[in-house]
Amino acid sequence: MTANQLKMMCENRYRIQALAFTNGKMLRECFRVMSLGKLMLESEDFYKFFDLMQLVAFEISSDAFISFTKLLTEHRLMSANFLEKNYEKFFSSFKTLMDSDNYVTKLSSLRFLSSMLLDKYFFNIMTSYVQEISYLKTIMVIMAEGSPVVSFAAYQTFKIFAVNPDASLRIAKTLQRNKSRIFSIIEKLSPPSDSEEKFLEENSYLKNYLNVDVPKIITQRIEKK
């Protein structure tokens, strides 16, 4: 398999609806081979996925997202190294998925984001991401304005920001300043019926952390200045 063949499968064939499903299956089989996955990640054609995942045609966008997640999770150590080297470009592109008007794309991207950030292989990525004030604000807006399912998906990433003991002064101050609004948003969240008990426990811990621990973090950061 050559770089040009991968490019053709990623761009040209994916845009033909009748070929999308078959093409996606072939791509995912290729991504099982580390060298082919690496070839795709290091190609500019990797970023074509962000366009494909936002196409109106559901069959194409959804299958492209499956291939995208397969590529990034099949060989996690390789993907983590790639993301560390291409952090800014990747996440600026990924944010377009979170901002998408396509409901499925937005929801899928939020779910993927939280699962990736909690994966031990992506620990360094997570520690960088949760220091980004712009991404915190994006997540908070989605929590406040999204549909019930989308808002709850955004909440899964918000929790990582909120209970980070290494939060920067700016992040901690933002959480403190918006605490009342955050509590109001969380109260309106609708967890799946099988997760209600866990949600209530998390909610209680989160409120206590924002009330007690975040002010301490702010004090510590100020004293270190």
- To 10 degrees, the CA torsion angle through 171, 176, 181, 184? 110
Helix, strand or coil, per DSSP, at residue 8: helix
Q: At a CB cut-off of 8 Å and minimum separation 6, what does 13 contact? A: 19, 20, 23
- pLDDT score recorded for residue 189: 92
- pLDDT score recorded for residue 146: 83
Please report the domains of the chain, with CATH numbers, ordered by start residue.
1-129 (1.25.10.10), 133-225 (no CATH)
- 11 pLDDT more than 80: no
Q: Which of 23, 6, 1, 5 is nearest to 14 (CA)?
A: 23
Helix, strand or coil, per DSSP, at residue 55: coil
213-217, long-range: CB within 8 Å, 24+ apart, which pairs? 213/163, 213/165, 214/167, 214/172, 214/175, 214/176, 214/179, 215/176, 217/165, 217/167, 217/172
pLDDT in tens, 96-149: 999 999 999 999 999 999 999 999 999 999 999 999 999 999 999 999 998 999
In percent, the amount of the chain with pLDDT more than 70 equals: 91
- pLDDT score recorded for residue 13: 57
> What's the mean per-residue pLDDT of the chain?
90
Question: 223 versus 219: which is more confidently predicted?
Answer: 219
Integer Cα distance of 3 and 8 in angstroms? 9
Q: Which of 13, 73, 16, 63 is nearest to 41 (CA)?
A: 73
Question: Which tokens hold the place of 152?
Answer: 């709850």
pLDDT in tens, 23-64: 788 889 989 999 999 999 998 889 989 998 998 788 888 888
Question: Which tokens hold the place of 150?
Answer: 């989308």
